[in-house]
Structure 1
Amino acid sequence: MNKPCPLAVADPDANQAGAPVAHAEQDPMQQLLQVVNQSDNAFIVGGPDTRIVYANAGFTSMFGYTLDEVLGRTVSATLSGPHTDLQVVERIKRELQQPGGGRADVLLYTKSGRPLWVSIVANPLFDDQGRFTGVVGVLADITQTKMHEVLQYKLLHAMVQELPLPELMELVCREVERIAPEVAASILQVDAEGRLHPLAAPSLPKLYSDALEGLAIGPMTGSCGTAAWRGEAVLVTDIATDPLWAPYKHLILPLGFVACWSSPITASDGRVLGTFAFYYRSQRGPDALHQRLIDVSLHLCALAMEREESRAHIHHLAYYDTLTSLPNRKMLRSQAERALADARRTQTPLAVLFLNIDRFKQVNDAQGHSAGDELLREIARRLGLGVGSRDLVGRQAGDEFVVVLQQCSNEQAAMAAERLLLAIAEPVPLAGGTVHPNASIGVALFPDDGLDFDALLNHADLAMYQAKRDGRGCLRFFNDDMNRITQERVALEDALRHALRDGGLHLHYQPQVSGAGCRSLYGVEALARWTHPRLGPVSPAQFIPLAEECGLIDELGHWALAEACRQMADWRRRGVAVPQVAVNLSARNFQNPALPTLVADLLRSHGLQPSDLALEMTESVVMDSGRSVLATIEAVHALGVKLSLDDFGTGYSSLGYLHRLPIHELKLDKSFVQDLANSAAAQALTNTVLRIGDGLRLVVVAEGVETQLQADFLIARGCPVLQGYLFARPLPAAELEPWLAARLAAAP
């Protein structure tokens, strides 16, 4: 015969009282029942048909059902709800027929309809003949843990998929409403002018959200506008009578909602980014579950909103000049190439003007950089006014601008350039005095002077330098005689080839510091230097782009890797405590499938560990992330070599590639660090990058730290590694060692 489950014979009445009847000498079964009934977990026992024959007090406390209400019913029929994963339920049922039983996390529902995430452990019972006689199940409430896990996972996954912010916020609202169906969730965004913009409210009519669009926050603007104004949560339990809602109650009361609890969504710097509201159909406030939901959701919403801010800011930084708001080189190129495609299709002429401000350095030196910046802004404004609606104006770099004139002949280009010269020459009043600027302009024409933008830009640049040589303040058209400048460039390229092969290049090493007081050496970055036998020191800003253009960059990267490994091996042999050396490689290096083999061979031949080396890549590598490049990156990572993303924030800056690539470090670009003292945008972006690094468990290295103020800002916000002139300039290996020794000697 089947042996019944021992717990199944317990007196149900004793269970309803919450404690079994005491006896002078309790048998082990009664002691077990007492333990079971005192547990916060739910215990249930099912018979051979899995229908419930026993449930403890913890079951009643967790789900609200008494034993009488569930006797003879199955757990799935009793506790399943609209979002219960029935496939998981069926899997548990199948596993009950096997020794060991089933385990799963599943969403179940209480008697009142409240969803609970529950961890189920279901153990089957068998008699001596191996026949199934019943089941014992233990159910633990994991709602809080699962709630955080599900919300965080879904939102971060959606962020990686680059979903728009409204879709992200709707996802959060729907997840919250699934966990707490008695609320209607709403998320509003607050713009820089303090106005509300609905992002998501899936359970509220669109007409209601539309009515809130552009509403200014203030001390008497409902729950949300007031919460944003105060920077603290606002609870209104009776919308009909509360003065905060007086101007707006006619919008919400007809929808059946009578109470509202709104909490501000705040950025890491304390700014209010938006509000998260719960609307109720009864006069009530939040319970413990609602408070936990908000605690989890506010952090995630702030992360998504700050990420959206940083994306917009990074996009602006990537495609527009921060000083003049003109298209930068990247955006100008994209626009110019489209214009050229139109010119080819329509067989119409096009002109490219390369413009440089004459003696601009004198303005900076005499009146300061702020005056120079104001001059550049004014010239950018005049250029924009001086061209047609179809024409393009962009800032190339520094005091250089590029103008693209569409459907423009030789004569028209000359007249347009003369008009621009006259407009630029108008006096500019500045804080330090009036300036009378001039400019030199070079002109190249399509198709006569080039068939692509690079050729036209290069030839216009050469013509501009000819205008400089001819006395400035004038324009020159490109001609063949200017190619001698190109020949000089070819000579420099040839000298670079010889330097690569004959030992004319060398590495300097810039320390990266960390720890308390920045006393610890995190590592060093290897930086290439070239001294030309006739020209003297050649700037990396000159010879590295030259190497890119002439196809030497791969060879230059290999040389830098080999030299850095040789030096690291020398330091290791002599006990010089340099933790790692970082080498910056170009996109071309990562396009070479032989790179992992080269790295492995260098480490092996020099007796180095993979942890001794880090490879830095720029965001251009990621933007060229075809399968072969990704495979190369993965293969390098598999060696144990760290990978660092250099100049983070100046390129594409997508969370998608951070998700795909095995990156260990983010290097915060020095352009942001240098603006920390006077730019709220740079501060906000830096905070966001640090939070991204922290959230993705990446080490953030801040480049270009030149002042103690910059260092203090970064340290206060948890930036782990700093690099810059404040600590040391790039040093030859022979000078780095005494620098390191002196730093160690000065350590407390």
Structure 2
Amino acid sequence: MRSIFASPHASRVEFSHRASDLADGHSRIGRPTRFDVPLRWSGELRHLDPTQKTRPMVDIGRLTRGTSLASGVGFVLALLFGILTPAVLAIVHALSLASVSFDAAIVIAMVAIASITLLAISCRRRLVRISEAIDAIQCSIAIYDESDRLMLGNKRYCEVLGLPPEEMQPGTSYSDIVRRSLVKYLPPDRIEAELARRLTLHQSADGRPADRLYPNNRWERVTKTRLPSGLNVGIAVDVTEYYTLKDQLDMEARRFSALARGAPVGICLVDEHSAIQFVNDALVTMMGADNGEALIESAATFSVDRSEVKSFRGLIARLRTTLAETEVKLDVRGTTRHIIVRKAFVPIADSAGRGAAVSASSAADTAENLLIFVDITKRKTAEARISYLALHDPLTGALNRVAFAEDLDHASAGADMKSPAALIAIDLDRFKPVNDLHGHAVGDELLCRVVERIGAGIPGDCRLYRIGGDEFAVLCPPPSGVNAMAFARTILERLTEPFSIEGSRILIGASVGISSLPSDTDNPQTLIHYADLALYQGKSRGGGTVHAFSPAVLSSADTRRIMEFELAEALENGDIDIVMQPIFGLDREHPLAAETLARWTNRRTGESISPATFIPVAEAANLITRLDLTVFRRAIATYAELTAAGCGFPTLMVNVSVRTLEQCDVVDLVRETLERHGVAGTSVVMEVTENFVIHDAHRLSETMQAISQFGIRFALDDFGIGYTSLRMLADLPVSYLKIDQSFVRDLSNPDHRRQHRIIRAIVELASQLELHVVAEGIEDEATFDQLRELGCELFQGFLLGRPASAAAWSGGKVGVGKGTAAA
């Protein structure tokens, strides 16, 4: 057989088979090699299942069997005929067995030689044709001897390895050929490892097909078989097109998988037998499962069309029989999820590859289902929230004005004298400072706690409404309106109890007004007005009370409006006077300071109006700033006169509201007043009530800092019952804390031992902040002694001295007497 690298028309033929190999060539060619599409592949070398039945592609035995047999037998016969014939003739001639001339023998021998020559020519032609056929085959064919040296390889084999013919001469070792090929497309550091793998597979030659990537980017399916004679026969088929198509399909599959897994909706693919083929990550998350397998095996309970379905598999089977769009409810870790499931049918192809016709009625049985799960929980929640907010306050959860108007009309229609309806109006006392001192978050939490307490104090048929801000209403429908007064008192008791929010103890109160229908009025709007009037009657008296509407309330409202007018006139006419109450130290001999208190005598009635009455009127009528500045100017002027007369005292304390400190020109007014009367700012302390309203905390701090530049100091009045936070104590230039008299009153009572701890805590806090403490409302010696033991150093109260006029101070008649504390 000629070399595969020689021209198919070459005249020289190299034959390297041993005679023994040719003699039994048919039995040693080996079993046919077959190839099929691989089931799996990995890396550059892909193995196939050797047990897989495959279709024969190339049969080397069949290809060479006839030629080997014909050439082998013919050659032996021709050789015997050509060589032995002359010898036989010679023997016959010698033994005279036959009369054969020598010439005849020569002729016979020449004929035999000619036969041999003709037979050789015939064999050569056959071998040339076989060689051409092998080179023309699109399969790679290679045969190595028992020492793994190349015996035969076709043209395709050379092309696949990427080597020129001169590098693949017969006798070249397999390792050298492979190494030369690997050098052309692998980096140096990978050549030895790949060569070792190739040698291992070459040595095994177990007939199993394996796919390999060669240097020309071609995939070849290689099958190597070791024959009993030791020959290694290898055949390779080009499967590059298959891998190209497979890569394209894999890419499409990856794209679909990426799209499905990254989709914001849940996707589930179900075959025609209801077997789940695929679920994406979004569906796993939506259903609250840990992974896809856990979801498929889930035994969760689902709600479909108001009926329960057990397990996820049961849900899928149920969905295949429902409409194209179905709503599903699922409880995931205590949260109800609302899910819309949409179906899409994927027809199953028949055996001929044609899509099966699918009718709407039989689609679930004859097609795969693509189930799309869309989580609409947020939409459902939003819809419910919208419906809720239409009738409820978003902060506290109480009913709102809209619900109040609807319920009031309904209650009015069913009320009569025997079964009345009642309206309870509630306005919180001292609420606004909570926002200013503790922040709006604490204020909001306080409102929520207020709603909880009110709700717990009214029966189930009464309804609570938040009208706005810190205003609430309770509607008692018939017949609960009969007990409205009892309900109102319960509400007030609950709201006067302290609130504990974020570590702060907050005390508020409430003013409550009641009106009834139809006893007070038969008009719903008038009912609201009457309840408000009753509420404000109690608020004008200091709050913390329950008032039911009566005709007298109407005249009271008129009286309030008259008081506002007369107070404005009093400020205009200078009718506001001052008194000063002394403040003593531990020695109690000489006053160390005095607090200035406002007094008003009504010019029309001659009545002395209590500050507890006219100060709230001034605040409501926006007269408080005028009142503060009037008292401040009068106090500075009086203090200058007393000092000049030698009857002064070290420190003058003057009350001022936050609203006054928030005025743009207050700093200039304070400076002008001090300069006009020649009073040093270091002698003045401004008392700011602790339950003040702060509209702009930053601006207030700047104003107080500016005033403090004159030497004026600040004190927090009524400390302990309002809403001062440590943040405000740190930010504002405060020098004094005045303990409210509610902590001092009945201090000697054994049942009030807790007040001792509160006062001691205030004193220790003030000490740490380097603040002075003033105890107010001291009316007996026992209280004084206990306050002194608790660490107080400054004292104020009727025990030590009553408020006195400037004349009494200048005459040295600041007396000491007994009585109740006065503002």
TM-score band, normalised by the shorter chain? 0.3 to 0.5
| TM-score (normalizing by structure 2) | 0.38
Q: Which has the larger radius of gyration?
A: 2
